[in-house]
């Protein structure tokens, strides 16, 4: 399995945002997608989805797939890796990064609890 190790606090913060996590989950489940397709699936505005996709791309979590575009305006996105992981110890070098890692851990636990409850 292709696993991406997250060691950057900015990438971890991008990864743990609920809307961005949902977009990544959809791409993991359905493969590459456009902002328009993700907008229809999530019910979010296309502009909002586009913003979140750019944040994920800037964090190195997704990448553009230009070969899927039918014209220059269409932009397709895919996950860089099929799975991501991180360790809190990678973020202990500064207090801001450590706070991001702590918040990410809490969000991840909440997410797993939601899955169990469903």
For position 19, which CATH number holds? 1.10.10.10
- pLDDT score of 118 more than 80: no
**What is the band of 43 on the pLDDT scale with cuts at 50, 70, 90?**
very high
Mean pLDDT of 103-114: 84
Residue 111 pLDDT? 79
Residues 6+ apart with CB under 8 A from 101: 9, 12, 86, 88, 90, 91, 92
Containing structural domain, residue 20: 3-117
Residue 116 pLDDT? 84
Total domains in the fold of the chain: 1
């Amino acid at each position: 399995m292709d696993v991406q190790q997250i060691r950057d606090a900015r990438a971890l913060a991008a990864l743990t945002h609920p809307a961005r996590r949902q977009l990544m989950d959809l791409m993991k489940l359905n493969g590459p997608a456009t902002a328009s397709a993700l907008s229809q699936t999530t019910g979010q505005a296309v502009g909002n989805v586009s913003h979140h996709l750019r944040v994920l791309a800037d964090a190195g979590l997704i990448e553009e797939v230009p070969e899927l575009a039918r014209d220059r305006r269409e932009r397709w996105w895919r996950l860089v890796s099929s799975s991501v992981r991180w360790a809190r110890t990678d973020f202990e070098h500064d207090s801001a990064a450590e706070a991001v890692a702590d918040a990410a851990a809490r969000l991840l636990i909440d997410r797993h609890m939601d899955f169990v409850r469903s």
